[in-house]
Structure 1
Amino acid sequence: MKKTILIFSAMLITAFSFAQKKELRAVEKALKKGNTTEAKATLSSISSTIESADAKYKAQYYFLKGRTYQELAEKGMDTDASLKIAGDAYNKLFAFEKEQKDFEYTKEAKPMLQTMISKIVEKAIASQKEENYKKASELLYLSYTLQPENKNFLYFAASNSISEKDYDTALKYYVELKETGYTGEETQYYAINVADGKKESFAEKTLRDVSVRVKSHSNPTEEKTKSRLPEIVKNISWIYTNHIGDNEKALAAVEDAIAMNPNDASLLLTKGNIYYKMGDTAKFKEIMQEIIAKNPNDVDSYYNIGVISAENGDVEEARAAYKKVLELDPGYVNAAINLSKTYLDESSDVVDKMNELGNSSADNRKYDEYKAQQTALYRKSLAVLEGISESVPNDVSILKQLKGLYSFLGESEKVKKVKAKLAELGEQ
């Protein structure tokens, strides 16, 4: 009895295999005739038995399914769903043949999948140019599902979701990127073209090296692109803080990224900005000082310390910070304007005291003292603005402040020059 059952089972498997072989051949014939609908129906009829099929038929089934649905998509028949099914079929084929160590169909299917993805990406780029960011994001995410190892697709899908203001979708994609350790860093290959002396980039190291060997190029170099992780974390924290209202999750995302990249000052800055939004200016200032400890020439952190110190009423520390910024970067306009403003603000306090005085001899003497203080502060403000105007001679806001100060100080010739410059720039 046992033997009979075994023979019956063997006959059953043979019958299945024969049926699958016959149906798969029918799919191939239908595809040759361009009858993709018939090919789809035939594939559907054997889908429930394919898991028990022989390895060679299983691989062929995945390949033909990929082809069929790719052609359906090209004919505009339920395009997005067809593309997804085609991609899933190709990826199952790749995984199966890799397991079998037999790549008969993979060799043909890989370029077909790549062609399909390229067309999807072209549509995504066109949608982005038309400012249809939702469609661009959907297409890029589809590309990612078809080629999961290429997380650049997911990154650009997230970027388009941000442009669409679809923050929930963007957050989902960004969190996945962060959790998988994506940085987007790539190595770019360069060499100097001997003919014209210009630096050229190469898509691959091999191509660059061949060009150097044949002596058409020289001086090969390599450069790593900037990590996208800080931008990703910054966007995650912004969405948590501004869209969801969860500063704790925003901070947690940044802390995770800092743990992976402890020397990345931009991540520390993002962390500091969260504390600033939370109203914790002391913590913000502490983080700016931490950044400076890692990079003593970080002008933005000195500037931020200046702003916070001024807000907290610590004028001398603010001035010291702004002066340090200008020492490191003489063209840092905002630092110069803010430093100049500290003297003007102080002079306003002096003017208030002047206005409180009476008409006695003592008050008149005090008035003269205050007047001298006001003039001295104006001169300090003027010196800062004159210094920065050399770096940005066409900055209208600075020119207008210079005009006001020169007028107050009675420097009429300089007033004329500034007015002429403003007129030249179409301003008054």
Structure 2
Amino acid sequence: MSLTKLSLAVGVIALSTATAFGQKKNETTASMERNAAVSAMQSQNTEGAKSKLLSAKEYIDKAAAHEDTKNNQKTLWLKGEIYSSIVSLGMQTQDMELVMAVGENGMEEAISALKKAYPMGKKYKDEIAATVDRNRIAMNTMASMLYKNEMYGEAAEAYLGQAEFAECVDMLDTLAVYNAAICYDKVEKYEDAAKLYEKAAKAGYNGTTCYVLASAAYRNAGKTDKAMEVISEARKTNPTDKGLLLETVNTHLAAGNNAEAEKALSDAIASDPNNKQLHYTIGTIMIELGKNEEAETALNKALEIDPDYVDAQYQLGAHLVTWASAVKKEASMLGPNENAKFAELDKQSDDIYKRALIPLEKYIAAYPNDKSVLTILFQIHRNLGDSAKAMEYKKRADAAE
């Protein structure tokens, strides 16, 4: 064996070991400086914390750039921890020079490092989770402040940051995603909002509401095909859901497909004609669309299927009372020379009030102490000129708890 070659080999090993040790030292020093920064912040020594964080960054950048340490879990965690701490402290103290010390994409680099570090093993998982939690809280606090100040676009970005930190530990923060969507909706970034609502919906957040909001946002973005795709998918498992059915109708109407809107309702009925809840749902949709006659027909159909369906009794009665009141108000606004029209509307109003009595009196038989319904029955009978019946219901209403 050549001693020269052996000496050379030993020298190479020694050099490699020294280099690796040097990079490990950078990692260790970065950790020590970061710990010193934490102590300074706990002592409210802001300047000291800034100095130590910048020193920690210098060392972790060296470790992150070297082949021997750049893929270490500890290096990656420390980069995420140090970079995010610099940004957080800079934002808190409004020191943009400190924020920019990590560059324009400093927070993205922090998130990227943490995402890469988390699945590497258990050794630093607790530290990574703590870094993530700290940043989620900070982002949420910032987002809430921005939202309160009606800076919705900026709030959306902060909520997204909160969600992105959660993803570092394989968690979907559906509330943060939902809040970001709301903020984008408010600044009319409808497609961005729609994608986030859809993401929350697919994760099961907030029932069918997020599907409805996603579809509505796609509609507002002019993407009616995508809106219909989202709502159709949701209706496969929730065919009678009122919100989904209403959004289906609204999407067709937005696309100018009035016939398709009616067909959607007809198809729903055809698929389950004896479903009282479906007819009830269609009735409430028609109320929201201002289609009084169609609403009355649908609710009566629900009661035809189940005469004791108290929800439909109440809804039909309330709808008819509201409709009758609107007709009476219209009559009261006529001019002094429109007597014939007044008489026509006055009679129409009375007829609708009379129809309202039927479901409401059935309802009050089941719930005899419902003060609000007793009061409505008193008012209807008074308007119809039946003083005796009106006083009977007034006494019952006064006695009800």
TM-score (norm 2): 0.64
How many residues are aligned here?
336
The answer as to 2:90 corresponding to 1:90 is no
Deviation (angstroms), 1:143: 1.5
Partner of 1:157: 180
Distance of aligned partners of 1:183 and 1:380 in 2 relative to their CA distance in 1, 3 Å threshold: same
With 316-325 and 67-76 compared, the bigger mean Cα shift is at 316-325
Question: Aligned partner of 1:247: which letter?
Answer: T
The C-alpha deviation readout for 1:341-399, integer Å capped at 9, x for no partner, is 69x99xxxxxxxxx79xxxxxxxxxxxxxxxx999957843633762794665468776
Instruction: Give the whole-Å Cα distance in 2 for the aligned partners of 1:381 and 1:275.
Output: 32
From 223, 234, 253, the counterpart of 1:246: 223
Distance of aligned partners of 1:292 and 1:327 in 2 relative to their CA distance in 1, 3 Å threshold: farther
Partner of 1:223: none
With 232-241 and 72-81 compared, the bigger mean Cα shift is at 72-81
**Contact 1:309 1:315 survives alignment (8 Å):** no
Structure 2: unaligned runs, 5 residues or longer: 38-51, 91-97, 328-339, 342-346
| Structure with more helix by fraction | 2
Distance of aligned partners of 1:399 and 1:73 in 2 relative to their CA distance in 1, 3 Å threshold: farther
Indicate the SS of the match to 1:75. helix
Instruction: Give the whole-Å Cα distance in 1 for the aligned partners of 2:388 and 2:74.
Output: 89
Distance of aligned partners of 1:326 and 1:275 in 2 relative to their CA distance in 1, 3 Å threshold: farther
Partner of 1:387: 361
Partner of 2:196: 173
| Structure with more strand by fraction | 1
Indicate the SS of the match to 2:123. coil
**Counterpart mapping for 1:24-423 below 5 A:** 24-34=27-37, 35-49=52-66, 52-53=67-68, 58-76=72-90, 77-78=98-99, 82-95=106-119, 97-98=120-121, 103-128=122-147, 132-148=151-167, 149-152=171-174, 153-163=176-186, 165-178=188-201, 181-184=202-205, 228=206, 230-241=208-219, 243-259=220-236, 261=237, 265-266=241-242, 267-275=244-252, 278-280=257-259, 281-289=261-269, 292-293=272-273, 295-298=275-278, 300-301=280-281, 303-304=283-284, 317=297, 320-321=300-301, 323-324=303-304, 327-329=308-310, 332-338=313-319, 380-381=354-355, 383-384=357-358, 387=361, 390=364, 393-394=371-372, 401-406=380-385, 411-413=386-388
Instruction: Give the whole-Å Cα distance in 1 for the aligned partners of 2:33 and 2:287.
Output: 72
**Contact 1:292 1:301 survives alignment (8 Å):** no
Instruction: Give the whole-Å Cα distance in 1 for the aligned partners of 2:15 and 2:250.
Output: 69
Indicate the SS of the match to 1:183. coil
The C-alpha deviation readout for 1:192-214, integer Å capped at 9, x for no partner, is xxxxxxxxxxxxxxxxxxxxxxx
The C-alpha deviation readout for 1:109-141, integer Å capped at 9, x for no partner, is 322322332333344345555655444432221
The C-alpha deviation readout for 1:298-351, integer Å capped at 9, x for no partner, is 463252587699959789955742744874126754412555769x99xxxxxx
Instruction: Give the whole-Å Cα distance in 1 for the aligned partners of 2:317 and 2:142.
Output: 47
Instruction: Give the whole-Å Cα distance in 1 for the aligned partners of 2:131 and 2:352.
Output: 72
Distance of aligned partners of 1:397 and 1:247 in 2 relative to their CA distance in 1, 3 Å threshold: farther
**Contact 1:268 1:291 survives alignment (8 Å):** no
Question: Aligned partner of 1:301: which letter?
Answer: T
**Contact 2:26 2:63 survives alignment (8 Å):** yes
TM-score (norm 1): 0.60
Distance of aligned partners of 1:66 and 1:421 in 2 relative to their CA distance in 1, 3 Å threshold: same
**Contact 2:314 2:360 survives alignment (8 Å):** no
Instruction: Give the whole-Å Cα distance in 1 for the aligned partners of 2:111 and 2:190.
Output: 27
Structure 1: unaligned runs, 5 residues or longer: 185-227, 346-354, 357-372, 423-428
The C-alpha deviation readout for 1:64-113, integer Å capped at 9, x for no partner, is 21232243134224299655443332222113x23xxxx32233332232
Distance of aligned partners of 1:253 and 1:164 in 2 relative to their CA distance in 1, 3 Å threshold: same
Partner of 1:349: none
**Contact 1:30 1:39 survives alignment (8 Å):** yes
